[in-house]
Chains A and B, each alone.
Chain A
Amino acid sequence: MTPRTWLLFNAKVGSLTFGMGAITPMYERVLVREHKALTPREFQEILTVCQVLPGPTLVSLAMYLGQRLFGSAVGLLGVFCLCCPGAVWALLFVRFVPLDRPDVRAVFWGFAIVSLILLVDMVIRLLPGLGATHAAGETATLGRLARRVAIAIGVGVAVLLHASMMSVALVGATVCLVAEFAL
């Protein structure tokens, strides 16, 4: 794979592919199976890092992969190629679709219901991760699991009460780390 094919690939993904669930497997297919630029394990590790670190996972993933394969400049251009088409599409959409009309709002009501279902599905798929430990295949003790669930609920309630996300993230991260390492 060359920098040019990497940039073209990102532009293609950014123009034609919807959602992280669809985009991530495309990266895996092209980099691991087609070009063999990464091993499956390397790809999995990079994906995990991008999911764990703050920031939008997909953008972090594109930057990380581009930087690792071709350096920072190509990584940055890859992110631009990935993000620009969607932004142009979205601006055209809001320019030409009358979002304030009641019948258009009714259609959006349906869209919102489905996005809620997708979100619930994602949260459900994240839940088993609360019962994991750093060792593969090992599960956390009941006490540790209860602490993690309590922290997750506390974070959720704080956010719903409009606490600033920076405060919640800082306090939440501290509590998470204390609960893991000190208790």
Chain B
Amino acid sequence: MVMTLVRLLWSCFWISLLSFGGIYGAFPELQRVFVTQYGVLTTEQLIDGILVAQMVPGPGMVACTLVGQRVGGLPGALTAFVGTYAAPVLFISGVAGLFDRYRSLVWVRRAEVALRPLVVGFMGASTVTILLQQMHGHPWATVVVAAGASWLYARRVLSPLPLMAVAGVTCWVIFATLSSH
């Protein structure tokens, strides 16, 4: 158990440190480590954790706490919590001062722009993974609900949280209809 918690602490620490942007930046590595390498979660359970994290207040990285809870119960959740948030706290404490001092230099600003493809690549990979996961089951229904939700979102008819509620109810109705046949 102690080794599991130590491994969990270390995994959450460096996954958090390598996540550009937030939980979606961390998703591919969470999947690789906890689903593929250790086999303690399914991709579906991992996506559930991310979805729950979006439904509770605060940073989305709380999904790592849920991963820890799945792996090691409450001690696992606490370990993952510490590992996830210790990384950015330590990193930003060390680097922010240096960045503050040198941020006006041209090469620092060029490096910042140069690294942007990395962020786009990570986010794009997360998008494709979740898309492929959602196309299992009833792809046509996924496409229809996605098209409707995209329209509502693009037209600013609904903000993300109410939109999630509407999409959730719609999918529940589709599920109930398909089950009754």
Contact = CB atoms under 8 A, between A and B. Distances in A.
* A, B: real partners: yes
Interface of A: 13-21, 23, 45, 48-60, 63-64, 67-68, 72, 75-76, 79-80, 82-83, 85-87, 89-91, 93-94, 99, 102-103, 106-123, 126-127, 129-130, 132-134, 148-149, 151-160, 162, 164-166, 168-169, 172-173, 176-177, 179-181
Contact of A60 (B50, B92, B127): B92
B88 interface: yes
Given A49-B96, A148-B116, A156-B128, A103 B176 contact: yes
B112 A52 contact: yes
A102 B138 CA distance: 14
Interface of B: 14-24, 26, 28-29, 31-32, 36, 47-63, 65-66, 69, 74, 77, 81, 84-85, 87-89, 91-93, 95-96, 99-100, 103, 106-107, 109-131, 133-134, 137, 142, 145-146, 149-150, 153, 160-161, 163-164, 166-172, 174-176, 179
Contacts of B51: 108, 111-112, 115
A11 B133 CA distance: 35
Contacts of B89: 59, 63, 75-76, 79
B117 A83 contact: no
A83 B65 CA distance: 10
A114 B149 contact: yes
B15 A165 contact: yes
B81 A134 contact: no
Contact of B24 (A94, A119, A177): A119
A126 B116 CA distance: 8
